[in-house]
Amino acid sequence: MGTYLILVVLLSIYSSSFSEGCNRELLVNVDFPGTDITSLYSPDADHCQQLCTDHPSCLFFTFIRADWTRDNRHFYCYLKNTASGQPNVRTQLLGVTSGFSLKPCSPQPQRCLSQVTPACRFFTFVNENYTLEKIRYKCHLKFSWTVPRTRVVATAGLVSGFAHKTLVTQHFNTACEGKLFPDTDIQGSSYETLTAASPGHCQTLCSDHPLCTYFTYVSNDFTCYLKKNPDEIVTKPKQGYTSGLPARFCQLDNEWLKEAHEGIDFPGSDIRYELMDDAETCQTTCTQDANCQFYTYVTKNFHSSVHWRRCYLKRAITIPAPSKVTKLANAVSGFSLKNVQSALPSTSHIV
């Protein structure tokens, strides 16, 4: 296979990778038209490539750069997929850059976005030349999830769970002493509602979000209420509710990752499925797969025998992902360097 790939590279610079090969090349002014899965905002082609790598089914992408002139689209990252793993068409097009997912690369590249506070994932700084004087010199610290989020649905015959590897990017030497408060509701002050598989999962989501001061988890519908009120906590006994505090500058217990949730589905976010005999093997496969974050296994109690023994390996995007990217004079934006282990030249994106 190695020799075959080398021959392919020699034959064509644009055919340097198959779906099972590693291709890091960015193709400037080359478009992969069609076959879009979704589009996201991205500041540059490198970040777009990392988004594609993080997305469960993206195999290649096309990024629309700042010098694009055909319409008002800029900083669009189009994630794409085909059954063959290769673009159906490649065309020359000014203002775009295309490339491939780095999922096949081993080891995968360090998740460093070289272009603060523990919760800060990226930022925008307004310099001295900005038109509105009162916001000059302000540095806006911004948040993006690092913990995988998934829908949680009760479904008979399914078993779901997480890879038994740490899914949280921050690590501390001191273990957290906090505990969960069963059959307790903390009333009011909710600012975001998510779904979670367990109280421990909900606590990890709360710990990841910089605004969360405490949380309440409702077991019968898997609802995780993130709450913000630094001044007071009003508790009330309530069966089926679990409340708690986030971890701040200490290491959370990751025992929640080891739970297998019977009768639970994590729908969507599939990388692929494989056939295997039990949920334990499915979990082990997910843990050993560098791309897998969570899984759903179909037992023989599921209503459709066509799906029996399928182990669905899954992941969600957890790299910093701005909700929008726009051009703005006299503002500079970039990413946290907290995951950079070696000194790198500092580069920023002016938007």
Provide the number of structural domains found in the chain.
3
Question: Does a structural domain hold residue 251?
Answer: no
Question: Does a structural domain hold residue 236?
Answer: no
For 299-341, how does the pLDDT look when each residue is reduced to its tens digit (9 = 90+)?
999 999 999 999 999 999 887 777 788 878 878 787 776 655 5
Question: Does a structural domain hold residue 6?
Answer: no
User: Do 72 and 130 sit in the same domain of this protein?
Assistant: no
Angle subtended at Cα 58 by Cα 54 and Cα 98, rounded to the nearest 5 degrees: 100
Answer whether residue 17 shows pLDDT above 50.
no
Q: Determine the 3-state secondary structure of 198 from DSSP.
A: coil
Question: Does a structural domain hold residue 193?
Answer: no
User: Do 297 and 156 sit in the same domain of this protein?
Assistant: yes
pLDDT computed for residue 43 by the predictor: 86
More confident residue, 28 or 125: 28
Question: Does a structural domain hold residue 228?
Answer: no
pLDDT computed for residue 66 by the predictor: 87
Answer whether residue 116 shows pLDDT above 70.
no
User: Do 274 and 162 sit in the same domain of this protein?
Assistant: yes
Question: Does a structural domain hold residue 175?
Answer: no
Answer whether residue 81 shows pLDDT above 80.
yes
Answer whether residue 178 shows pLDDT above 50.
yes
User: Do 286 and 300 sit in the same domain of this protein?
Assistant: yes
User: Do 288 and 152 sit in the same domain of this protein?
Assistant: yes
More confident residue, 252 or 309: 309
Contact 321, 75 (CB under 8 A): no
Question: Does a structural domain hold residue 232?
Answer: no
The residue-averaged pLDDT of 162-182 equals 73
More confident residue, 166 or 204: 204
Answer whether residue 192 shows pLDDT above 60.
yes
Q: Indicate the Cα dihedral angle 323, 327, 329, 330, nearest 10°.
A: 40
User: Do 57 and 30 sit in the same domain of this protein?
Assistant: yes
User: Do 37 and 160 sit in the same domain of this protein?
Assistant: no
User: Do 53 and 163 sit in the same domain of this protein?
Assistant: no
Answer whether residue 135 shows pLDDT above 80.
yes
Q: Where are the alpha helices (DSSP H) in the chain?
A: 2-11, 45-54, 199-208, 279-288
pLDDT computed for residue 119 by the predictor: 67
User: Do 67 and 127 sit in the same domain of this protein?
Assistant: no
Domain of 94 in residue numbering reads as 22-105
User: Do 327 and 283 sit in the same domain of this protein?
Assistant: no
Residue 293 has a CB neighbour count (10 Å cut-off) of 24
More confident residue, 188 or 121: 188
pLDDT computed for residue 166 by the predictor: 59
User: Do 29 and 101 sit in the same domain of this protein?
Assistant: yes
Give the range among 116-125, 255-264, 317-326 with minimum mean pLDDT: 116-125
Instruction: Measure the CA–CA gap between 260 and 159, rounded to whole angstroms.
Output: 6
Question: Does a structural domain hold residue 227?
Answer: no
The residue-averaged pLDDT of 109-137 equals 72
Residue 249 one-letter amino acid? F
User: Do 262 and 163 sit in the same domain of this protein?
Assistant: yes
Q: Give the pLDDT band of residue 12 (cuts 50, 70, 90).
A: very low
Q: Which residues contact 55 (CB under 8 A, 6 or more apart)?
A: 37, 38, 79, 101, 315, 317
Answer whether residue 219 shows pLDDT above 50.
yes
Closest CA to 52 of 30, 36, 28, 69: 36
Averaged pLDDT score across all residues of the chain: 84
